[in-house]
Amino acid sequence: MKVLFKFTIGEVGSTFTVQGFDLNYAGVIIGPSVKYRNGEIIFDREGSMNRKAKNRRTLKNGEAEYVAEKLLKNELNVLLTRGVNGLYIYAVDDELREALLKAQGK
């Protein structure tokens, strides 16, 4: 049985609402928490709107660690893997956007 969701083109979701769904096409806006500097992708917790990414966690041994990079990588992975037939990407960061456009041509 094939179900078509032709009326969802105007729908907007987030990492939390699209988990577990495979969409025909996905459009992802990569916000200011993901940057491209000196040939590397950088995850900036201060640029994230996810409060959990900004917080630090206390480990069992009492040490504190920021888990922003892990959380932000996971969020991005979820969003970038939802489109079965295609993916549209826009990056807020100018350098990341330029790197993605260059990579598109390869």
100: pLDDT strictly greater than 50 = yes
- Tell me the Cα Rg of the chain: 16
Which residue from 42, 28, 32, 29 is spatially nearest to 93, judged by alpha carbons? 32
Task: Show Cβ contacts of residue 80 under 8 Å, excluding neighbours closer than 6 positions.
Answer: 26, 28, 87, 89
* Confidence band of 54 (pLDDT split at 50, 70, 90): low
Q: What is the mean pLDDT of residues 28-55?
A: 85
As a whole number of angstroms, the distance between CA 68 and CA 26 comes to: 24
Q: Tell me the per-residue pLDDT of 1-21, one tens digit each, with 9 for 90 and over.
A: 344 445 556 666 666 667 667
Q: What is the mean pLDDT of residues 77-106?
A: 89
| pTM > 0.85 | no
Q: Tell me the per-residue pLDDT of 57-88, one tens digit each, with 9 for 90 and over.
A: 776 787 777 677 788 888 888 888 888 888 88
